Amino acid sequence: MNHRPFEDWIISEQALNPVEKRELESHLRGCKVCSSLVDTGVELRSSRMVPPKAGFTHRFHTRLAAHKLSERRRRFWGSLVFILVGTFLLAWKAGPFILSIFASPAEWITFVIGYFLFVATSIQVLTEAVLVILNIAPVLVPAYVWMIIVSALAGLGLLWSVSIWRLTRYTQGA
Ligand SMILES: [Zn+2]
């Protein structure tokens, strides 16, 4: 069977004059290929015109919210497990130590207090000593002594850098 020009008419969806229309209709009655082509065209056109299903956006948002909720729940359980495991490990490792503290609290308290007192007094003494030195030094030590000390230090520094320089040159030459 010859499907031309009916095939072209159907595909191009061109406007037909009454004679062509009648010819096409008579052909479609006898031709399954061309009538199925028309059906396909109608289907395509209708699917193209159908807007997105109502409530699509709403459903999308609902699904997104559910996803976020499950994500949050998973994170919550993850952190809970993490904390529990961490606590368990800490208790396991530090347990004997803590138990020994509770077994003899008085000893530990005196030890801790003594330690803190020691650290505190050390810091105090050190700062006091530094302050005293800073206060007294300029008075006791005359300016020219400071100059000698500073120049001696500078000379030592220079000597040191020169010797380093010589050493590197020597090793490079060898
Ligand atoms: Zn045909």
Per residue in 2-24, pLDDT (tens digit) is 888 888 888 887 788 999 999 99
**Angle, nearest 10°, between helix axes 32-49 and 18-30?**
110
Between the CA of 5 and the centroid of ligand 1 the distance, in Å, is: 9
* Six token digits for residue 33: 């290929």
Tell me if 24 sits within 8 A of 6, measured CB to CB: yes
Ranges under pLDDT 50 in the chain: none
pLDDT at 53: 65
pLDDT at 138: 67
pLDDT at 88: 84
Between the CA of 39 and the centroid of ligand 1 the distance, in Å, is: 13
Q: Scanning the structure block, which residue is given the tokens 């919550």?
A: 76
List the chain domain ranges.
6-50, 55-103, 104-140, 142-174
Three-class DSSP labels, 130-154: HHHHHHHHHHHCCHHHHHHHHHHHH
Which pTM was predicted?
Answer: 0.28
Between the CA of 28 and the centroid of ligand 1 the distance, in Å, is: 6
Amino acid at 13: E
